[in-house]
Amino acid sequence: MDTLPTSPFIGVPRSTGAVVVLNGFPGTGKLTILKQVKQQLPVDRTIMLDNHLLIDPVSAVVPDRSDKHHELRRTIRAPIFQKLRQRAHNGYIILMTACLAEDNATDSAFLEEHLDIMRMTDVPIIWLNPHYGQATLGQRLLSSERGQGSKTELMDICMLRDLLCDNRLIQPHKSTDGSVKLVVKTLNASRPSKKVPGASNERYSVSTVHSNRMKLRLQTSCD
């Protein structure tokens, strides 16, 4: 006699939180996009974590991308990701940036760390890989605001174009055991969009990321 499959989420309390990861190469305006999205979400229930906040302190101590560099980054990420898991489970919306490429063992392992944030919970992870036109990238790098911050940024447009030609963004796949509620989307970041007051002068389309809490909940439904 056939039996019904058992859901890994049985007995797990439901949450209204979500983790949104915007994964893009350097110089593509990830933080600018998420700042615009954050302005449309509840201030007291939204957390934004730029990946440079975790990378730059390690780069200051271990500048090269050696095994020791990545080990130190993992050590720093672990307690922070654990705290994000708790916050998302309590109903917070977590906005994160990432820069993970396909066919890279280190990035593949880092992807699993992201998925582990909400593994075996009812909280969805929305993974966004943006698409950019060459004109948009050129405008981005020539922006007067780029490079004014303290984080390390890619400023060479030729280097960025080579990076995009030689690499592809990592594409997460739903786990076979259903232990992660994963929604994968492509974000068109080339089309002009309505300017958000108080945001950067750069214009990006965030139409596929619903900018109020109710629409974000609807977006997280898994097939």
pLDDT band at 28 (very low <50, low <70, confident <90, very high): confident
Are 172 and 118 in contact, with CB atoms under 8 Å apart?
Answer: no
Whether residue 200 has pLDDT greater than 60: no
Half-sphere exposure of 57 (CA within 13 A, CB side): 10
Q: At 96, which amino acid appears?
A: M
Which CA distances in Å does 161 have to 22, 27, 66, 129? 19, 10, 25, 17
Domains and CATH numbers, the chain: 18-218 (3.40.50.300)
pLDDT band at 191 (very low <50, low <70, confident <90, very high): low
Q: At 107, which amino acid appears?
A: D
- Please tell me the predicted confidence (pLDDT) of residue 220: 43
Q: Which residue has the higher pLDDT, 166 or 206?
A: 166
Residue for token pair 């929604």: 183
pLDDT band at 133 (very low <50, low <70, confident <90, very high): low
Percent of the chain with pLDDT over 70: 62
E-strand ranges in 12-171 read 18-23, 46-49, 93-98, 125-131
